[in-house]
Amino acid sequence: MNALAATNRNFKLASRLLGLDSKLEKSLLIPFREIKVECTIPKDDGTLASFVGFRVQHDNARGPMKGGIRYHPEVEPDEVNALAQLMTWKTAVAKIPYGGAKGGIGCDPSELSISELERLTRVFTQKIHDLIGIHTDVPAPDMGTGPQTMAWMLDEYSKFHGHSPAVVTGKPIDLGGSLGRDAATGRGVLFATEALLNEHGMSISGQRFAIQGFGNVGSWAAKLISEKGGKIVAVSDVTGAIKNKNGIDILGLLEHVEENKGIKGFDGADSIDTDSILVEDCDILVPAALGGVINRENANEIKAKFIIEGANHPTDPEADEILRREGVVILPDIYANSGGVTVSYFEWVQNIQGFMWNEEKVNKELKTYMTRGFKDLKEMCTTHSCDLRMGAFTLGINRVAQATTIRGWGS
């Protein structure tokens, strides 16, 4: 089941629990706008190269649409559509005044030079500048993009519309980016984990964690969890996987990754097969890489009692069913990894006000939002007698449905 089919399935299940009528259901599911553009650029060797860019604007009932721009060879319409829909529910779960969107360009950024990436970003921005905006659609970084990409987008957009720092988030600090944004998704994973464990009378200290993915989300989550006394016993990234039952020295690993561009070769742990990271002996598993990694082939072998979804859609529906039967508690992506979009909202607010916050305020507000979000999610679980994933979906969809109905769009 691909990401769009799985997302639609979860929507239908939640819609049934909420008792939405078919007309409103259809209104919520169909995207507001789908954009597909050709981006042709001169390469450094003088030849021309063409790429396809996408932007799916899913819903704006609760506010401007919000979502990342990813550069990846496998960017295609169904995936972008699914991720845009997830952003609609995620922003509603977080109770921030946004809708959902997602975009990307089908390219391999590792095969493009910095100047080629800049030209590609600027051409893409030229094609969509009149369809995004501070109060319309606010892009952010995603897989294969980062603060520099957002800086190019901001600069190109500003050529048409004047200086507009709030048009993108995840920017460099010097262009209006927020303190704490870099660590936000990983810190949100920490706060989400604390809220879940607290519900079970536990704390992070002494728990054994396996983290799949050591990019921005995984590395920050590992660092912050280890600072709270959690023991990181296994980690993987694209270069390999390692484990140490006594706990990996995360600060040492971060230094190694900085120098070697990956965890491969780190001498403070044993090398293991990359695919085995998900089934390592641990208390808490944090998938923080690509989607669809937990499936019916490996679900029965997972030893963790808790799964915190740092990545988008890491668990497919069949695996969900298997893990539920086994008593594994899954904290769903649309809540667990919402720290990034929440601090993006803080960045947008700061840009509009022209008044920047210190990092302590950013982190304090993030904890407030994540803690409140878990409480709201649990209330929906109680109301509808459902698991955490359906609790999150019913929470998000219900908020969007209410806004849609109040506006008069659902009738």
Per-residue pLDDT tens digits for 173-223: 999 999 999 999 999 999 999 999 999 999 999 999 999 999 999 999 999
2 pLDDT higher than 80: no
What's residue 411's pLDDT? 60
Contacts 24+ apart (CB under 8 A), 76-82: 76/106, 77/34, 77/36, 78/2, 78/3, 78/4, 79/2, 79/3, 79/4, 80/54, 80/55, 80/56, 80/104, 81/4, 81/31, 81/34, 81/56, 82/2, 82/3, 82/4, 82/6, 82/7, 82/8, 82/313
Q: List the one residue out of 288, 287, 274 whose CA is nearest residue 143.
A: 288
What is the pLDDT averaged over residues 26-32?
94
160 pLDDT higher than 90: yes
β pairing state of 270-272 and 284-287: unpaired
**Structure pTM?**
0.94
pLDDT digits (tens, 9 = 90+) for 217-262: 999 999 999 999 999 999 999 999 999 999 999 999 999 999 998 9
What's residue 286's pLDDT? 98
Q: How far is CA 262 from CA 114, 167, 219, in A?
A: 20, 33, 11
What's residue 261's pLDDT? 87
6 pLDDT tier (thresholds 50, 70, 90): confident
What's residue 367's pLDDT? 98
Mean pLDDT of the chain: 95
H-type alpha helices, 203-338: 216-227, 250-260, 317-325, 333-336
* Dihedral angle over CA of 8, 11, 16, 19, nearest 10: -130
What is the pLDDT averaged over residues 155-171?
97
pLDDT digits (tens, 9 = 90+) for 127-142: 999 999 999 999 999 8
Q: List the one residue out of 229, 294, 232 whose CA is nearest residue 266.
A: 232
4 pLDDT higher than 90: no
Structure tokens at 6: 């799985």
Residue 30's φ and ψ, nearest 5 degrees, are -75, 130
1 pLDDT tier (thresholds 50, 70, 90): low
305 pLDDT tier (thresholds 50, 70, 90): very high
Structure tokens at 9: 């399935």
User: Which segments within 174-261 are labelled E, that is strand?
Assistant: 208-212, 231-237, 240-243
What is the pLDDT averaged over residues 146-156?
97
117 pLDDT tier (thresholds 50, 70, 90): very high
What's residue 291's pLDDT? 83
CA dihedral sign of residues 192, 339, 248, 293: positive
Q: Which of the residues 102, 171, 223, 243 is marked catalytic?
A: 102
Q: List the one residue out of 401, 405, 397 whose CA is nearest residue 334.
A: 397
pLDDT digits (tens, 9 = 90+) for 40-92: 999 999 999 999 999 999 999 999 999 999 999 988 888 899 899 999 999 99
Task: With both helix axes pointing from N to C terminus, report the angle between 388-407 and 3-18 in degrees, rounded to the nearest 10.
Answer: 70
Plot region of 262 (φ>0 → left; ψ -120 to 50 → alpha; else → beta) = left
What's residue 326's pLDDT? 94
Known catalytic membership, residue 102: yes
410 pLDDT higher than 70: no
What is the pLDDT averaged over residues 101-125?
97
